[in-house]
Structure 1
Amino acid sequence: MILIIGEPGDRHVRHVTARLDARGSPYFLFDPRRYPSSAELTVDYDRTGAVRRFLTCADKRLDLADVRAAWHRARVRPTPAPDVPEDQAWWVAETCARFLSQLYECLDCRWIPERPASASAPLYQEDADPPACAPWAALPVRNQAPSPENKLHQLSVAGRVGFAVPRTLVTNSPERFLDFYDACDGGLISKRAVNLAPRVGGVATRPYTVSARRRDAANSSAVRHAPVMFQEKVPKRLELRVTVVGRRVFAVEIQSQDSYRQQTDWRHHPEYGQSQFYATHVLPEAIERRCVQVVEALGLTFGAIDLILTPDGEYVFLEVNINGQWAYLEDMLALPISDAIAELLIDGTAYLDCTIPATAENPGPGA
């Protein structure tokens, strides 16, 4: 299958589709202006990080795993639905544009002219006034690996090195959301699909991870307006912030379940930053190596990884913050993170051989 990202009225698109029709080559035409109001994108992951991606437009459904070549012709942005409030329209359009770029990055196929890169999306300060007409966020600039900030890519990488990940759905389809809600018996959390905060009444917000509730299912039509990331609610014994510097690993456990306020998102409430909820943590050697492998597979030398330790003793990967905060951990627990960064800057010292044998269950970062 050939994916054409373009406008039906573009004569360049008409010329090429005429030639494809003459040759009997199937193609799927996607106009980004139809997303999210009349097009649906759904990405879902199982607990091993295996992924499925679907695009539905004009009652036609495309399994993106079938795409063997893509032509990125469009120079247009997603268009919010008419009923989106005026102060939210820019956020919806920008969120959708960035999400499209992340999705394109993850499609392993032939690209013309080049595979788009999500890192090229314009990054505005959350407290800055949005421009009247934001630049196109998916301009093709390279044909390399996906950006390390791409959360879709991070989940796949984590699964490849052997981590369990939460069952995950990213969608703007109310129907897919409800199906996932039922499949998880209502035990879901929701997150931003991209790292961009909306403005409400002209004031920048800081959205946190929240539990999906019955009222969210009852108001499922709101999902249509922009992609949302939903994940199964993983039971927690502890949460961990694992800071990787080169091949040094500093693991801190967060007793988030000791406080009702912290149980869903430990950053959300006043207990965040209080030392009684933090302690150093000794990771199993295999988990420590996987943390290093994830960071290296993303092309990084530093990463702050969020994990969950379940009551059954399983370590579940959530995400990597490529420039995550760590000074408060060093101050509270006397961790030598700044020393490790200084040494890495000076001589690039590596402290851990993270090579482990590849197996069917753990094929390694190059698989």
Structure 2
Amino acid sequence: MLTEVCDATADFVLAHLNERGVALWRLDPGDFPNTLDLSARFDGSWRGEVLGPLRAADLAEVKAVYYRRPSDFKTPDGLSESENAFVRSQARHAVFGLLAALPGVTWVNQPGRMADARMKPYQLAIASAVGLVTPRTLVTNRPEDVVAFGTEMGRIITKSLSIVRYVDDVKGPGLLYTTEVPEADWGDGGITATAHLFQEVVERDYEVRLTYVGGQCFSAAIEPDDPYGELDIRAHSRRVRYAAIEAPSKITAAVGAMMDRLGLVFGAFDFIVRPDGQWVFIELNPNGQWAWIEEEVGHPISAALADLLEKGAIG
């Protein structure tokens, strides 16, 4: 189990695996090389071990890997920027390259496949190809195209193409939320600086977080107390209501097809359900949070993840 020290979500799965007597090691790859060592030799296949302060793991014994939230690799003090980049790159390619090369390992999920799946233009194309309804979308750095798109759609939103964390001098750290773009900003010259993603505003009855685990779909309806508040449900903080629901069979079938195409066994899907009942795919996070949904509606997501890892561990 690869994750940072303070990861309460990972503890849910850890508890199940401990109860079942599954041999496991929770470690943070970011501790390499401060408190972790590795050594491996290749002669047609890789043989070696990872060593920590209290234990070691033979690479040949690794049968399942849960990639949760590992921290970044540490570097020694006193290095230049280019030296720091070199040290981190070497560590990342060694640690994850060795794990990726091990035969017969169950990954939840493989990092390279998650990296591909995170690209919003790519996942929108896959979602549409498997039959999910998607919002009309524009990716551009041309203000005149935003003006034309906004005029056609009537109302548009923008959101970051990747997860972006920022630090505000007053509010502190935070995330960039999905926001509606006022008409006065459609032609803003700053748009030329980089690529931006714009979408039509999808009318919302409620939202759904669908958590996919190895062929199972766990769906929860999420409805804000203020239906006229912020478009991004995350901005409503805890002022929302949750309910366990069953997703339509055509949705679960399409979700399963999408995950097969992406080579993933876990994913957190966000949908908007329109007032007419139509489900609209918004995005997929291949390593999204899920413990809060389990706590709110009782879905056995952690047990399903433990099932995947246990099955991989015992072959």
Alpha-carbon separation, structure 1, partners of 2:180 and 2:136: 15
Aligned to 1:113: none
**Aligned to 1:184, which of 135, 140, 153?**
153
**Aligned to 1:343, which of 289, 295, 307?**
307
Aligned to 1:154: 123
- What is the correspondence of 1:190-339 to structure 2 with a 5 Å cutoff? 190-198=158-166, 204-217=173-186, 220-256=188-224, 258-262=226-230, 264-272=231-239, 274=240, 277-339=241-303
Q: Following TM superposition, by how much is the alpha carbon of 1:270 offset from its aligned partner in structure 2, in angstroms? A: 3.1
Q: Deviations over 1:336-363 (max 9, x none)?
A: 00110000111159xxxxxxxxxxxxxx
Q: Following TM superposition, by how much is the alpha carbon of 1:216 offset from its aligned partner in structure 2, in angstroms? A: 1.5
Alpha-carbon separation, structure 1, partners of 2:209 and 2:135: 17
- TM-score between the two structures when normalised by the length of structure 1: 0.52
Aligned to 1:355: none
Which segments of structure 1 move beyond 6 Å, counting only runs of 4 or more? 131-136
CA pair 279-348 structure 1, distance change in 2 beyond 3 A: farther
Q: Deviations over 1:282-330 (max 9, x none)?
A: 1111111111221221111000000111112211111111111111111
Q: Following TM superposition, by how much is the alpha carbon of 1:199 offset from its aligned partner in structure 2, in angstroms? A: 5.1
* Higher RCO, 1 vs 2 (CA within 8 Å, ≥6 residues apart): 2
RMSD: 3.0
Q: Does the 8 A contact of 2:206 with 2:221 survive in 1?
A: yes
- What is the correspondence of 1:81-100 to structure 2 with a 5 Å cutoff? none
Q: Following TM superposition, by how much is the alpha carbon of 1:200 offset from its aligned partner in structure 2, in angstroms? A: 5.4
SS of alignment partner, residue 254 of structure 1: strand
Q: Deviations over 1:68-106 (max 9, x none)?
A: xxxxxxxxxxxxxxxxxxxxxxxxxxxxxxxxxxxxxxx
Aligned to 2:135: 166
Instruction: Supply the AA of the counterpart residue of 1:178.
Output: V
Alpha-carbon separation, structure 2, partners of 1:173 and 1:200: 27
Q: Unmatched 5+ residue regions in structure 2?
A: 1-70, 74-79, 87-92, 94-111
Q: Following TM superposition, by how much is the alpha carbon of 1:208 offset from its aligned partner in structure 2, in angstroms? A: 0.3
Instruction: Supply the AA of the counterpart residue of 2:138.
Output: L
Instruction: Supply the AA of the counterpart residue of 2:119.
Output: N
Alpha-carbon separation, structure 2, partners of 1:135 and 1:173: 33
Q: Deviations over 1:34-62 (max 9, x none)?
A: xxxxxxxxxxxxxxxxxxxxxxxxxxxxx
SS of alignment partner, residue 193 of structure 1: coil
Aligned-residue identity in percent: 33
Instruction: Supply the AA of the counterpart residue of 1:216.
Output: D
Alpha-carbon separation, structure 1, partners of 2:177 and 2:188: 19
SS of alignment partner, residue 306 of structure 1: strand
Q: Does the 8 A contact of 2:127 with 2:281 survive in 1?
A: yes
Instruction: Supply the AA of the counterpart residue of 2:184.
Output: R
Which has a greater percent of helix? 2
Alpha-carbon separation, structure 1, partners of 2:235 and 2:81: 32
- What is the correspondence of 1:115-126 to structure 2 with a 5 Å cutoff? none
